[in-house]
Structure 1
Amino acid sequence: MHNLTRLAAISLALLLTACTAHQQDTLYQKALDLGEWKAGFTEHQAQIADIDMNYLIREADGPILMLVHGFSANNSTWLQFADKLPDHYYLIAPDLAGHGKSSEADSYDLEKQAERLKALAEHLGIGPFHIVGNSMGGAISAIYAARYPSDIASLILIDSAGLDGENQSQFFAELEKGNNPLIATDEASFEYRMDLILEKQPPLPWPLRPALIRETVERAELNKVIFADMLATREKMDQEEMSRLISENVTMPALIMWGEKDRVLDVSAVKAFKDAIPQAEVKIYSDLGHVPMLEDPAASAETITQFVSSID
């Protein structure tokens, strides 16, 4: 019996190894489709401002949340997290220009990205909503809240870009040396990127991982363009200007969430955001990294649910 079990395991391993790239990609897409279905999302595509935007929606009669992903990610980042939120929450998860299934654009300036989200909100005809942004998506969300405060019920920042902390992160130290570990160009750099971003790796079984690696590596050149535009925004809107913009206009309720072990954006940035948004509540996860809603969807959803419930 032992030999038969071992033979079955070897046969299964050989079968999985024999999966073609096309089969891996198909399985990966089916896994995403299942995640969207489980979270109650439906997928939509529409001309929004200057791009063809892909976005996920879960319609409901409760608080409205717009979920804004980070650099080189897409709206699938939110699937497990969305599944943990209350069923009566109305959720919108767009793919930013140049990400996911949304089209490319002439500019990936963060202010321009915020303008596109404004156009999406107008397209959907939604009232005041809670905007939730991670990393680059946090900076875009903060700009949106500052530029269009009447649209925003609350600003929720998760390991947000935009304001720097006192301590330099591993990512910025590497960037100064001319290496951008957030842009994967091969399997090795992909694995390094995943380790840098995530303190707790979510399960990604084979053969889904090779499909994700291919998808990420194929985007390398576009990601370089997007990142350059992001840096250009950072230079145009320096720390002093960004802090002033936020502090003068973000007067709505706010929540700052951070993974203490974040090696991309150091946790010391919490103080910079708190100084700019003194009314903000703060939640720091001692065991998480740069993407808490992906590393611990349940804990992240609980934090946001409690915060939103205290407002609505």
Structure 2
Amino acid sequence: MSEKIIPVVMPKWGLSMKEGTLTEWHVDEGDTIEVGQVIMDVETDKIASEVEAPDAGLLRRKVAQEGDVYSVQALLGVLAPPEVTDEEIDAYVAAFVQPSSEEGDEEEAASAYAFIDTDAGRIRYSHMNAEAPGTPYVLIHGFGGDLDNWLFNLDALAENAPVLALDLPCHGQSEISENIRFTDLINTVVTVMDKLDIGKAHLVGHSMGGLISGELAKLHPDKVASLTLIGSAGLGQDINSDYIRGFVDSESRKNLKPVLQLLFADSSLVTRNLVDDVLKYKRLDGVKTSLNALANQLFVDGTQHIALDLDSSPSPLVIWGEVDAVIPASHATNIRNAEIHVLAEAGHMVQMEQANNVNTLILAHTR
């Protein structure tokens, strides 16, 4: 009967995740679970998120308790049809061997992040499934973000093709330059692609990263196989200047947390650890000056200063969170000849809040 038993385990989001806290079950023993159904909430040292069921079945046993911390791949629950006896489930739970995630994963995580020299300084990047034959994806984050903004997208996109995600200059763990120019960000993406022998790619840009992607497509059309714009800048003048100024100027947890909550439809996703990580970045020498320099180039007098010209670009996929509090979802309709999807129950970080839907849309658009 053991082949009819399906384990529910702690998911792994990104290569750096080692453990998570099961904060809440959304299903009870005896419930029939469908693929994609939200079954629990998990909080990591990066972010809190809902967990959707990868398998369907009858939930026969909750092994994990709310509030407890479990390592990646730990057994949290058991799915099994009614004919499997309680004794068989007891035996399965007792005999369950958690897949090893220590030595191998540590080596994998260490090799997943690398650095490359560019004219804008040393750039951190992750190049997943680099030897795969498909057209690569290049993921470009937004203002103040880093490659961890793609935490819930990397694995899904890397199943059949290479995926490059990078920390833009003055962001994440890349080098900080107080004299940064917006054009440096575009040129850096091109340089990293060239140094990694990525000739043509599916560009996926979020927020300011969408603006970078669109400008890159105009300047280097030979490098762009497709274009996906997520909550993108450059499609209208409106911008929440309170968010921009708040992000740049906030220097304490108390002031920064409500600013970061503007990114999500569900403000509870902004954990203490997430706020602390952003504060740690913002306290690096030169960060405030460099962010100010970019904000003064891109967001003048509380409006967006650069408008995308996509007339010569491939028809883009445009994705937006319906309750985006940073850039209005109405901007999605300001672009012609686009495939447009506005997703409910999501804010500016729609690629995190609606990761499965976003991944499905991107994969369908780039087949």
TM-score normalized with structure 2 length: 0.64
Residue 190 of structure 1, aligned match among 230, 236, 256: 256
- Equivalence for 1:17: none
Cα distance between partner residues in 2 of 1:139 and 1:105: 20
Cα distance between partner residues in 2 of 1:283 and 1:295: 14
Matches within 5 A, 1:145-184: 145-164=217-236, 168=238, 171-172=240-241, 174=242, 180-183=245-248, 184=250
Instruction: Please say if residues 109 and 230 of structure 1, whose CA atoms lie closer than 8 Å, have aligned partners that are also in contact.
Output: no
Structure 2 unaligned runs (5+)? 1-44, 47-70, 73-100
Cα distance between partner residues in 2 of 1:89 and 1:36: 23
1:195 Cα deviation after fit: 1.3
Is 1:295 the counterpart of 2:357? The answer is no
**Residues 294-303 or 41-50, more deviating:** 41-50
1:83 Cα deviation after fit: 2.1
1:220 Cα deviation after fit: 9.1
**SS, match of residue 245 in structure 2:** coil
**SS, match of residue 180 in structure 1:** helix
Structure 1, residues 43-81: CA drift from partner, whole Å, max 9, x if none? Answer: 111112331111001112223100001111111111221
Higher relative contact order, chain-length normalized (CA < 8 Å, sep 6+): 1
Instruction: Please say if residues 261 and 270 of structure 2, whose CA atoms lie closer than 8 Å, have aligned partners that are also in contact.
Output: no
1:108 Cα deviation after fit: 2.9
The verdict on how the C-alpha distance between 1:210 and 1:286 changes in structure 2, with shifts beyond 3 A counting, is closer
Instruction: Please say if residues 110 and 230 of structure 1, whose CA atoms lie closer than 8 Å, have aligned partners that are also in contact.
Output: no
The verdict on how the C-alpha distance between 1:305 and 1:71 changes in structure 2, with shifts beyond 3 A counting, is same
- Equivalence for 1:55: 125
The verdict on how the C-alpha distance between 1:137 and 1:210 changes in structure 2, with shifts beyond 3 A counting, is closer
Judging by fraction of residues, say which structure has more strand: 2
CA RMSD of aligned residues (A): 3.2
Judging by fraction of residues, say which structure has more helix: 1
**Residues 259-268 or 215-224, more deviating:** 215-224
Aligned pair count? 264
**Amino acid paired to 2:253:** E
Identity of aligned residues (%): 22
- Equivalence for 1:14: none
The verdict on how the C-alpha distance between 1:40 and 1:201 changes in structure 2, with shifts beyond 3 A counting, is farther
Structure 1 unaligned runs (5+)? 1-26
**Residues 291-300 or 146-155, more deviating:** 291-300
The verdict on how the C-alpha distance between 1:85 and 1:54 changes in structure 2, with shifts beyond 3 A counting, is same
**SS, match of residue 160 in structure 1:** coil
1:294 Cα deviation after fit: 1.4
Instruction: Please say if residues 135 and 200 of structure 2, whose CA atoms lie closer than 8 Å, have aligned partners that are also in contact.
Output: no
Is 1:129 the counterpart of 2:201? The answer is yes
- Equivalence for 1:116: 188
